[in-house]
Structure 1
Amino acid sequence: MHAVYVTGPGTVAKLEVPRPTAGPRDILVKVRACGICGSDAFYTQIGGIPPRQGETPLGHEPAGEVVEVGAEVAGIPLGAHVVINPMVAPSGIIGNGGATGALASYLLIEDAVLGSSVAIVPDHIPFAVAALNEPMAVARHGVNRLEPKPTDKVVVFGAGPIGLGAAIGFKLRGVESVVVVDLIPARLETALEVGADAVINSAEEDVVARLVELHGNEPRRPGESRPGTDLYLDAAGAPVVIDTILKNAKHGAKLGIVAVHKKPVEVDFGSILSTELTIVMAMGYPTEIFEVTNDIIEHWERYAAIVSDQFSFDDVEEALATAATPGAADKVVVTFD
């Protein structure tokens, strides 16, 4: 079979490797779709995933079809369509430093347990949409960390895949208002398509003034203008986002950070002390990997809007290059015959 490996700094290759065989407690999945994450570009840039040396397998957002089932595996039938938890593989995180990656023709799931290592999705769900399960779990963890209530007014900064997934998550939790902020018009159109109540183009509009219009004004002192936004989610990773929120958050607001900030961000705790702002961080998906699956199944057409580009596995190098090029695509998914 073929699998994609980082072969050196800035280089990837599709290599021919032995097709695995399922043992008594394993299943073998024919990969039918695999999303490309921003981390894949980072791993390629640095030449692998520490502490592994040499060739490093890529891909951790798979969906596929079960083609072999070990004799001791329960509840996972042959032919089932599945999404996969890359975190629990005994040989290391799939596509994140482990021995296997999901940008491959087949993927061995060792010690396969339904509800822990895999979840079954109905056959009518497109594999490219099912492959969103892993990043949507990341988005859902960001939503869960903010503990939204139906009366909350929410702002999501960043309309990439995680921000869009979070916007859907907030709407499915029934919050009063979800506003999405970005500076790319096409992304904002997608935000409206997935259910955002309003969008703000930060390149053209005064974000704070627009939020006051949408969420009301809750100043701390006379003459001041502060949006009545209850929850802020940073899915952009830009220092200006944090600065804007800290300077304008109302008393008792919450800020969740799911974005990866590659440089330190300065925070003046003295200036925000009186706001009693709560700041929470969100990384990964401690419990959400299959929590989000049922929502994807029920609302798959809404989630489908997040997939911006699809490439055949024959063109996987082009897919990786496109995903790594700023502004070239939002969510790239590789599909397999």
Structure 2
Amino acid sequence: MSTQDPTQQMTAIVCHAPKDYRVEQVTRPRARAHELVISIAACGICASDCKCHSGAKMFWGGPSPWVKAPVIPGHEFFGYVEELGEGAAEHFDVQVGDRVIAEQIVPCGKCRYCRSGQYWMCEVHNIFGFQREVADGGMAEYMRIPPTAIVHKIPDGISLEDAAIIEPLACAIHTVNRGEIQLDDVVVIAGAGPLGLMMTQVAHLKTPKKLVVIDLVEERLALAREYGADITINPKSDDALAIVQSLTQGYGCDVYIETTGVPAGVTQGMDLIRKLGRFVEFSVFGSETTMDWSVIGDRKELDVRGAHLGPYCYPIAIDLLARGLVTSKGIVTHGFSLEEWDEAIKTANSLDSIKVLLKPGR
């Protein structure tokens, strides 16, 4: 007969290995000094979670794998302050009951990047849901927020679905900002998944000359048009190169944002972008991508930029959602309980969904 106190237990998804994710009863976290415990309201399943679940090499292989199992996954979370450790109210400027989100990276505060304000490139690079050295992720009923986390309050007027996309929206904002979109630019966003659709909304707010979105799913292209895309392209039936050249006097687009997560999105971009254009790479790839690098230098002298996480963009994301300038409507398509994990990850891995949420409740 178990002697465990059920009030000290919680339901969580625990990642043990690729395709070995289990719904378990685990010890509920407690707040230590300068720490919070939050009750999770919702946690999104990211494309990186899907690739991690499937066993993508970059997460599990190499000398420094991202995943250090067992760990509770989930970095697209938000919740309510449930417990305050000693000094935590002053440290984070929050009270019990406040609705909050923590940025997905927990900076070490000591490396050259953290000391220079470039905390999103922290050398230690602890991200919620991949390693438990600092804390587990948000696919659970409760979650501990450590002292070095970056916490933001969420206004009451923002819906659950909108609050649940703050993390990916912050990433979308950072990516679009990396493209330095100008008023006379022709911008191409490749990929109309959750991130691509959020990037479409953000890029539309930059009012480029033309905003083009490319995807293979017609329903997602229809959403992109609702969100402000001037032109949508389905490579299965459309000639992307001919269309982009027709918009640019044959030169190619000024900005190409790659968020497909497949190698074809990269090589396509090298064809579509003009000389001296700005190529922004956001995707996490499940396999290696190859191309002729002479296109970057000898042929086009491109400005190739990466985009990682959402630094300094969470307050912007919250503000855009609060003002109704960006929305989760159409993007958040499914919600599941933690106990429905198997169905949730299956749905997230299919084209039947766009964004899937786990909703542990309060």
Task: Indicate the TM-score class for this superposition, using the shorter chain for normalisation.
Answer: 0.7 to 0.9
Structure 2, unpaired ranges of 5+ = 1-9, 109-124
2:145 is the alignment partner of 1:109: yes
Map of 1:93 onto structure 2 = 127
The match for 1:257 is 281
Aligned to 2:251: 226
Distance 1:159 1:31 in 2: 28
Aligned equivalent of 2:231: 198
TM normalised by structure 1 equals 0.87
Residues 1:239 and 2:257 aligned together? no
1:203-256: per-residue Cα shift (whole Å, max 9, x none)? 11111222234x331xxxxxxx333x2111111133333333323432322111
Give 1:14's aligned residue. Answer: 23
Q: Distance in 2 between matches of 1:97 and 1:318?
A: 24
User: Aligned equivalents of 1:270 and 1:26: distance in 2?
Assistant: 49
Residue 77 of structure 2 is matched in structure 1 by 62
Is the Cα contact below 8 Å between 2:19 and 2:55 reproduced in 1? yes
Please give the root-mean-square deviation of Cα atoms over the aligned residues, in Å. Answer: 2.5
Aligned residue among 126, 143, 153 for 2:159: 126
* 1:335–1:249 CA distance, 2 compared to 1 (3 A): same
Given the alignment, which residue of 148, 171, 177 partners 1:144? Answer: 177
The residue type equivalent to 1:19 in the other structure is: R
**Any conservation in 1 of the 2:191–2:214 contact (CA below 8 Å)?**
yes
- Distance, in Å, in 2 between the alignment partners of 1:187 and 1:193 is 10
Aligned length: 324
The CA distance in 2 between the partners of 1:4 and 1:12, in whole Å, is 6
**Structure 1 unmatched runs, 5+:** 218-224
Give structure 1 regions of 4+ aligned residues with deviation exceeding 6 angstroms.
none
* 2:355 aligned with 1:331: yes
1:2-40 deviations in whole A, cap 9, x for unaligned? 111013331211111122222341222110000001222
Letter in 1 for 2:130: N
The 3-state SS of whatever aligns with 1:251 is: strand
Amino acid at match of 2:27: P
Q: One-letter code of the match for 1:149?
A: Q
Q: Deviations over 1:131-173 (max 9, x none)?
A: 2122222222211211112222211010011111211221222
Bigger shift: residues 56-65 or 121-130: 121-130
Tell me the residue number matched to 2:189: 156
SS at match of 1:137: helix
Give the distance between the partners of 2:352 and 2:237, measured in 1 at CA.
21
Change in 2 beyond 3 A, CA 1:130/1:238: same
Structure 1 residue 304: Cα displacement: 2.9
Whether the 8 Å contact between 1:171 and 1:178 is mirrored in structure 2 is: yes
Report if the CA contact (8 A) 1:193-1:302 is conserved: no
Map of 1:29-40 to 2, 5 A cutoff? 29-40=38-49
Please tell me whether the aligned partners of residues 6 and 43 of structure 1 are also in contact (alpha carbons under 8 angstroms): no
**Corresponding position of 2:342:** 317
Q: 1:55 to 1:254 in 2, by over 3 A?
A: same
Aligned to 1:168: 201
TM-score for both structures, normalised by structure 2? 0.81
Per the alignment, do residues 253 and 8 of structure 1 end up closer, same or farther by CA in structure 2, a change over 3 Å counting? closer
Q: Work out the CA distance in 2 between the residues paired with 1:64 and 1:212.
A: 46
Q: Distance in 2 between matches of 1:46 and 1:70?
A: 36
CA contact (8 A) 2:334 2:357 kept: yes
- Following superposition, the deviation at residue 272 of structure 1 comes to 6.0
What amino acid sits opposite 2:202 in the alignment? G
Question: Matches of 1:120 and 1:132 in 2, distance apart?
Answer: 14
The CA deviation at 1:260 is 2.5
Q: SS in structure 2 opposite 1:42?
A: helix
